[in-house]
Structure 1
Amino acid sequence: MKQATIAARLYAAQRPALVDYAASILGDRAKAEDIVQDAWISFASIEDQNGIQNPERFLRRMIRNLAIDALRRTRRYDRIAGGDMEEAERTVQDNAPGTEQALIARQELARVQRALARLPERQRLAIEMHRIGRYKLREIAERLGVSIPFVHGLIVKGLAACDDYRDE
Structure 2
Amino acid sequence: MKSEALPVDLYETHRAGLLAYARRLSGDGVLAEDIVHDAWLLFSRQPAGSVVSPVSYLRTIIRNLLLGRLRRAGIERISTADFDMAVSTIVDNTVSPEDTVATREIVVRIMEAIDAMPDRQARAIRMYHFEGMKLREVAAALGISIPLVHGLIAEGMAVCNRIRREGQ
**TM-score, normalisation: structure 1:** 0.45
**TM-score, normalisation: structure 2:** 0.45
